[in-house]
Amino acid sequence: MSSTKEDSSKLGQFIPLHYHANMLRDNARMTGFKQAIEKVVPQGGKVVELGGGTGVLSFFAAHRASKVWCVEKNPEMVQAARRLLALNPFAEKIEVVEADAMTFLPSEPIDAVVCEMLHSALLREKQVEVIDGFKRAYAQRFEKLPIFIPEAVILAVQPVHQNFKFQGYYAPVPMFYDPLVASDETQGLGDPVNYNMFFYAQELPKQFTCELEMPIHAGGTVNALRFITKNVLAALVAENCTVDWFSQYLVLPLFSPIVVQKGDAVRVRFQYQPGDSIETLTRSIAAVKK
Ligand SMILES: C[S@@+](CC[C@H](N)C(=O)[O-])C[C@H]1O[C@@H](n2cnc3c(N)ncnc32)[C@H](O)[C@@H]1O
């Protein structure tokens, strides 16, 4: 079944409460955002969170900020956020606003925007579209753009051999992996190659059109590409470090696997727009031995 344009525009925008529980339990995600917010949000500052969900990142922000607008489009999550925030300290500083984050404007200038509508390879969720829309509206009303958390993203792709056998059943389907847990199901046959990097405060990409040459360092069969998404939540120049959070690795099968030897190179082409479906990216991939 192919997705319609309307389905695609809704992709990732309505996340059920039980999935929010997984996000609350994701330690790397929670620690990363908590640290970045502590470092970046000025004491007494003003913050907007775009896509507030359960309100947890607004709660982190309210430890330092004097006012937080927690903007959420899904009415069920608006109710949930109000209920959950009321069970916690600092609720009086947080205003949960039922609105589309793409067009929401705060009534006064703010210091920071927090936005976690992040999916692997920036697919499905509307992070880029939402921040772009917010920036346009904000720039028409106020002078200086706020700081963004995340501040930047680095996107990379790697040629791999993936085990697509499940109890003897061969099924080359998209697979997700926790980046912090080593898996022997995926074997890297070449190093990851960066295909894009951008700062949210700067011009945002409308499309990723990639043509890459990937050197192979181990023989085998390249039957998939692993997409790696490094979210730079904060770049702490004075401390010479960044606070990073990796989205789940996404492994996408190739339609035609390629037998390779060490020293070969594989030429890969793909294109997609931020927020597109996984199927759109999968269908666009073309890979051949050079
Ligand atoms: C990945 S969840 C993150 C929730 C929360 N920020 C957190 O970190 O736990 C993204 C949230 O953005 C909301 N969302 C998606 N598109 C939106 C939009 N255009 N305007 C406002 N909220 C949106 C979803 O309903 C969902 O609650």
Domain coordinates in residue numbering, the chain = 5-149, 152-289
The CATH code belonging to domain 152-289 is: 2.70.160.11
Beta bridge partners of 47: 68, 112
CATH topology assigned to domain 5-149: Rossmann fold (3.40.50)
**pLDDT number for residue 14:** 79
118, 263 in Cβ contact below 8 A?
no
DSSP code string of 71-88: EE--HHHHHHHHHHHTTS
Distance 184 CA to ligand 1 centre (A): 33
| Torsion sign over Cα 13, 243, 201, 90 | positive
Task: Tell which atom from ligand 1 comes closest to the C-alpha of 102.
Answer: 19
**pLDDT number for residue 99:** 96
Distance 212 CA to ligand 1 centre (A): 33
Query: Cα–Cα distance between 116 and 51 in angstroms, integer?
Result: 7
Query: Cα–Cα distance between 84 and 14 in angstroms, integer?
Result: 18
**pLDDT number for residue 12:** 66
Note down pLDDT in tens along the chain; length 290 residues. 344 555 666 666 778 899 999 999 999 999 999 999 999 999 999 999 999 999 999 999 999 999 999 999 999 999 999 999 999 999 999 999 999 999 999 999 999 999 999 999 999 999 999 999 999 999 999 999 999 999 999 999 999 999 999 999 999 999 999 999 999 999 999 999 999 999 999 999 999 999 999 999 999 999 999 999 999 999 999 999 999 999 999 999 999 999 999 999 999 999 999 999 999 999 999 999 98
Task: Tell which atom from ligand 1 comes closest to the C-alpha of 126.
Answer: 16
Q: Going by DSSP bridges, is the β-strand pair 147-149/249-260 parallel, antiparallel, or unpaired? A: unpaired
Q: Which residues contact 173 (CB under 8 A, 6 or more apart)?
A: 164, 253
156, 228 in Cβ contact below 8 A?
yes
Distance 169 CA to ligand 1 centre (A): 36
Please list every protein residue whose CB sits less than 6 Å from any atom of ligand 1. Answer: 13-15, 23, 51-54, 56-57, 71-74, 77, 100-102, 116-117, 126, 130
**pLDDT number for residue 16:** 87
Which amino acid type is present at position 85?
L
End-to-end CA distance of the chain: 34
Element (H, E) at 25: helix 17-25
Distance 205 CA to ligand 1 centre (A): 20
Distance 56 CA to ligand 1 centre (A): 11
Query: Cα–Cα distance between 270 and 268 in angstroms, integer?
Result: 7
**Which of 10, 48, 72 is the best mutation target for the ligand 1 pocket, counting ligand atoms within 8 Å of the beta carbon and taking the most?**
72
**pLDDT number for residue 8:** 60
Distance 170 CA to ligand 1 centre (A): 35
Residue nearest to atom 1 of ligand 1 (CA): 117
**Which of 73, 77, 96 is the best mutation target for the ligand 1 pocket, counting ligand atoms within 8 Å of the beta carbon and taking the most?**
73
**Which of 82, 117, 122, 129 is the best mutation target for the ligand 1 pocket, counting ligand atoms within 8 Å of the beta carbon and taking the most?**
117
Task: Tell which atom from ligand 1 comes closest to the C-alpha of 118.
Answer: 1
Query: Cα–Cα distance between 207 and 240 in angstroms, integer?
Result: 31
Task: Tell which atom from ligand 1 comes closest to the C-alpha of 71.
Answer: 21
231, 179 in Cβ contact below 8 A?
no
Distance 273 CA to ligand 1 centre (A): 19
